[in-house]
Amino acid sequence: MFDRRRFMIAVPALGAAARAGAGTSPPECAVFTRARQQSTSPDEALALLKEGNERFVAGRTVNCDLRAQVRDTASGQAPFATIVGCIDSRVPPELVFDQRIGDVFCARIAGNFVNDDILGSLEFATKLAGARLAVVLGHTECGAIKGAVDGAKLGYLTAMLRNFAPAIKASRGVPGEHTSRNRAFVQAVADANATLSAAQLVARSEVLRSMVEQGQLRIVSAMHDVATGRVTFFI
Ligand SMILES: [Zn+2]
């Protein structure tokens, strides 16, 4: 018998958020409490990420006392969003969305595709831990996508790259050679992969689908440009 209480996570007391937001700390530095998380709508969660990326691109990132945030989240977490991103070193979600300790769950895997373990991670992040938004974040110049379109063979990578077959198939109408030398093709596959992966979250997970249908969760895909730092949402 599944006992949901065993998986419930502690959340920081309201006093912790008040302390984090006190004094000279900007409001962005207040850690998320369960109450603040649940009063944030999925659309507002999306706006928070958009605003954070605007700050990142403009060089106006917020400087928070991370040690204070560690203290204020020690007893629990209540992140407002969950992000599936690539392992690429140029695309750390917390940095490109100007978020910090306790703000977002991040699942990172080469090529930001979705499998059973990612689905389980997102079900935890949303249904049990309360995140209001799920983002599949692709990026330009993705090495995993390039490897997949070139049919790279290496150890476990060979099997992993098969996850991109649907996105490659969806991009077959792109003109030019279908190799990593064709940047337009690589980008089309990356776009399709982000979109299809977001669709998979709803199609494969009854838990996520039910939350979306009830307005508790929003799922979107997005593309990060490694040349500019800008994230474009596909909505
Ligand atoms: Zn990548």
Ranges of each domain in the chain: 25-234
Query: Residue 25 has what pLDDT?
Result: 75
pTM here is: 0.90
Ranges of the chain whose pLDDT falls below 70: 1-24
> Ligand 1 centroid to 129 CA: how many Å?
27
Alpha-carbon span 89 to 87, nearest angstrom: 6
Spatial CA neighbour of 148 closest among 132, 131, 163, 137: 163
| Structure token pair of residue 61 | 């990132």
Q: Give 132's contacts (C-beta < 8 A, 6+ positions apart).
A: 37, 38, 40, 41, 42, 44, 45, 80, 81, 126, 216, 217, 218
- The β-bridge partners of 105 are 82
Query: Residue 12 has what pLDDT?
Result: 52
| Structure token pair of residue 217 | 């969760």
> Ligand 1 centroid to 27 CA: how many Å?
32
> Ligand 1 centroid to 91 CA: how many Å?
8
The correct answer on CATH 3.30.450.40 for the domain covering 25-234 is: no
- The β-bridge partners of 11 are none
> Ligand 1 centroid to 33 CA: how many Å?
32
Alpha-carbon span 168 to 1, nearest angstrom: 41
> Ligand 1 centroid to 65 CA: how many Å?
30
Query: Residue 27 has what pLDDT?
Result: 82
Query: Residue 90 has what pLDDT?
Result: 97
